[in-house]
Amino acid sequence: MRDDLREHIIESERIFSGRIVQLDHAKVKLPDGGTAMREIVHHALGACCLAVAPDGRIYTVEQYRIPMDDITIELPAGKVDQGEDPLEAVKREMTEEIGMTAENVEFICKAAVSPGFTNEVVYIYIATGLVPMVAEPDEDEFLSVKLYTIDQLLDMIADGRIYDAKTIMAIWYANLNREKYGIT
């Protein structure tokens, strides 16, 4: 990494601490010696999974997201608990949200959600060899599980019905690797 671009925190104050996020207001020293203020949202890691059904279609979940004031179409995903491995978290989320476990779960990539203001990183996986389980969503989680072909999902990205970044990244990866994962 180029050190000539690095900012250094001079002082920081925690101005909010909630169940999911913490917010710091920090004074930083800039590379040219000047200073600036930064707002930093600290968030747990996330884990997301593109789960491929035996027929090659892909599981999605629809749920209302209050920050967006919209029902979003996403892949199964959730927060990684403190000390939990992202792989274990994504397996837990698949069972909770779509009622599946998988014989094969492969890491695709990790992605910074919005590095301009938050340290949240999401780990993205692809799962095949799905085995039915009992779905057990969190008590405050209301979902609709649906299956789509990759072409349907690509159309939904193109027309704006899917706009969740982690979901788009995983779908594009899956599209490039259809044959490898038996995706239709």
Decide if pLDDT at 141 tops 90: no
Q: Cβ distance 94 to 126 under 8 Å?
A: no
- How confident is the model over 100-137, as pLDDT tens digits? 999 999 999 999 999 999 999 999 999 999 999 988 87
- How confident is the model over 1-39, as pLDDT tens digits? 677 899 999 999 999 999 889 999 999 999 999 999 999
User: Considering the chain, what is the average pLDDT of its residues?
Assistant: 95
- pLDDT value of residue 138: 79
Q: Cβ distance 75 to 162 under 8 Å?
A: no
Rounded to whole angstroms, how far apart are CA atoms 116 and 14? Answer: 18
Q: With helix as H, strand as E and coil as C, how does the chain read? A: CCHHHCCEEEEEEEEEECCCEEEEEEEEECCCCCEEEEEEEEECCEEEEEEECCCCCEEEEEEEECCCCEEEEECCEEECCCCCCHHHHHHHHHHHHHCEEEEEEEEEEEEECCCCCECCEEEEEEEEEEEECCCCCCCCCCCEEEEECHHHHHHHHHCCCCCCHHHHHHHHHHHHCHHHHCCC
Q: What is the pTM of this model?
A: 0.92
Catalytic residue among 13, 103, 139, 179: 139
- Tokens, residue 5: 């671009």
Active site residue 141: no
Q: Cβ distance 11 to 26 under 8 Å?
A: yes
What domains can you pick out in the chain, each with its CATH number? Answer: 3-43 (no CATH), 46-181 (3.90.79.10)
- How confident is the model over 33-48, as pLDDT tens digits? 999 999 999 999 999 9
Tell the burial category of 42 from Cβ atoms under 10 Å away from its Cβ (0-12, 13-18, 19+): middle
Query: Vertex 57, ends 54 and 63: CA angle to 5°?
Result: 120
Decide if pLDDT at 165 tops 70: yes
- How confident is the model over 46-91, as pLDDT tens digits? 999 999 999 999 999 999 999 999 999 999 999 999 999 999 999 9
Nearest alpha carbon to residue 115 among 180, 28, 41: 41
